[in-house]
Homo-oligomer: A and B are copies of this chain.
């Protein structure tokens, strides 16, 4: 966790205190059920919850101190609880194994993280929708290979981003549900010393599904799927960030990240307004993506479990969720306040001398009876002149003056093909598909 790239709500999920609170709840709910089942005294559960009701501060330092001796985090935690509760605490954790607590806690943390990330996505979606509608018919050039192609609208670009992040939202919901399971099944998952009803009770209390078959641990394919999904979302962030970076290039300048009054772009070049937020997002996407492979490598634990996954998760659990939360919020801010320059978009659209309409002319020629090859040749020879003139010449005028073309199409028919509105007739349909 880099403070610079953390937001408090997500970061707090991963703090020791939050973890110990979840541990307590898991242990105490389990104790409740055991008491109900008559396995442990009812007084034990009562004592434990009574102590908790006093709202005892979580003494992380003390727990760490015990762990330094016993080298076991859950035992250290239980020791600290016992110091507060007294003798009744000895029934806690009965028939359970550490991983019952650790893995169920991780499930809670990942679920809570996912919920925050889903909120983040919802906010991003809202902004994207608003700005897409705002620019539904703002003409801009569509580019393939970085080369001017045909007109689109700026709203369409944003509608695409919306659709992509809506898919990501659905994927994240699935990944959250995949990872949100509870296992209270004992040393090797057989429930040898604990009734499966305890697991069911804890699962319900913690908002989790039960893990159908655990083996001391919850299987790590669930976590792999979770982090892989975050990696996909990060890649979508990179896509939109890259779009903004391109639009802000000096030569393009169709949009800009909001530039606050006190901000200095460069210590050396005061005129510079750099797309530093989206460049930063590009880097953060790499970071989140980098956690996918370790998560995949965590799946193949030895036999019923080994603990190699644990250190990996200490890094990537917080880092992937905190970073992605920050990145989504930053992206939402960028898109919310993005400075959009429609005049510049129009200017760029016009700079190619009408080449962007060549496809329509090509079709008109074909429909007028030219073979595909001939039509292509006729358009290309005029298009090349425009291209080489750097937009000084007009494709429309050249076509009108080309005898082979005018043999097939009248001047009026040629002019018709240079109508920008023609390209936008289905924008409403596409918006309907995306926004319903």
Contact = CB atoms under 8 A, between A and B. Distances in A.
A235 B359 contact: no
Interface string A140-161: 0111111111111000110110
A13 interface: no
Chain A contact residues: over half helix, strand or loop, or mixed?
A: helix
A303 B154 CA distance: 11
A18 interface: no
A236 B224 CA distance: 10
Interface in A232-279: 232, 234-236, 238-239, 241-243, 245-246, 248-253, 260, 262-276, 279
A396 interface: no
Stoichiometry, as copies per complex, reads 4
Given A164-B219, A267-B98, A286 B276 contact: no
A338 interface: no
Contacts of A271: 352, 355, 358, 379-380, 383-384, 386-387
A236 B386 CA distance: 35
Interface stretch (A106-114, A210-218, A405-413): A210-218
A350 interface: no
A215 B243 CA distance: 13
Given A246-B303, A271-B387, A272-B147, A232 B239 contact: no
B159 A264 contact: no
Interface residues of A, number: 166
A419 to B, nearest CB: 10
Contact of A221 (B147, B232, B246, B251): B232
A123 interface: no
B232 A225 contact: yes
A205 interface: no
The 7 A-B pairs of least Cβ separation, nearest first, read: A142-B188, A271-B383, A283-B311, A145-B274, A235-B299, A143-B303, A270-B380
